[in-house]
Amino acid sequence: MPYSDKFNEIFDRSVTDYHKTDNVDAAMINPYSEGTIECFLYKKNWIDAVQWHLEDIIRDPAIDPVEALALKRRIDKSNQDRTDLVEMIDSYFMDLFSNVVVLVDASLNTETPAWAIDRLSILALKIYHMKVEAQRKDALSEHIANCTKKLETLLTQRVDLSAAIDQLLSDIESGKKYMKFYKQMKMYNDPALNPVLYAGEKKN
């Protein structure tokens, strides 16, 4: 089975499971064993699903400003959690391919496998929600037609991205490409690196 088949299967399962309650505060029940790549992928998509809906909520023009600020803080934490999981997934692949003999003319890809897989996770959510829009009973026919066309594009994009990810992993596995990834080192969440945060600490 191609790697991407498993990735898409896990992402679709997570999206379906999330929408059983469609509640950003619902507890995640991960069906996969802790520490496995399947567990990481499911958790990654669940976080993406929750954040997707938080982004919807915060755009409500009537939202209370205090609530909006709390949501912004929650989204910031979610972004950091997503980044941490992507790096864990890349660490898995680094270990998986650690014994591969890299060819002399091997090249470096523009992004790591996990960041490409991250896009595949988001695509699963886009496909789910665009399908919902394309099947709405209360929408105008023009809306249905536009969303149906967009859904077709998203499905094609998933086929193409899946193939590209499988090719990348195959090339790494055969030594044609090699992995090298850097931690994102996001500065705005770090009290030691964000000038606003460390300036505030000095005042206190």
pLDDT tens-digit map of 49-82: 999 999 999 999 999 999 999 999 999 999 999 9
38 in any annotated domain = yes
173 in any annotated domain = yes
Q: What percent of the chain has pLDDT over 90?
A: 86
Query: Is pLDDT at 46 greater than 70 in this prediction?
Result: yes
107 in any annotated domain = yes
> Which residue reads 């755009």 in tokens?
59
135 in any annotated domain = no
Confidence band of 191 (pLDDT split at 50, 70, 90): confident
Confidence band of 106 (pLDDT split at 50, 70, 90): very high
The size of the chain, in residues, is 204
98 in any annotated domain = yes
**Domain coverage including residue 68:** 3-120+157-203
Query: Is pLDDT at 127 greater than 60 in this prediction?
Result: yes
198 in any annotated domain = yes
- Count of domains forming the chain: 1
127 in any annotated domain = no
Give dist(CA 10, CA 32) in Å, integer.
Answer: 10
Tell me whether strands 177-178 and 107-108 are parallel, antiparallel or unpaired: parallel
Mean of the pLDDT values across residues 119-137? 97
pLDDT in tens, 27-39: 999 999 999 999 9
Strand partners, 108: 178
Global pTM value: 0.90
83 in any annotated domain = yes
Confidence band of 203 (pLDDT split at 50, 70, 90): low
Q: Which of 64, 55, 28, 54 is nearest to 43 (CA)?
A: 28
Query: What are the counts of helices (DSSP H) followed by strands (DSSP E) for the chain?
Result: 6, 2
Give dist(CA 156, CA 85) in Å, integer.
Answer: 26
Mean of the pLDDT values across residues 87-101? 95
Instruction: Give yes or no for a contact between 123 and 157, defined as CB atoms under 8 angstroms apart.
Output: yes
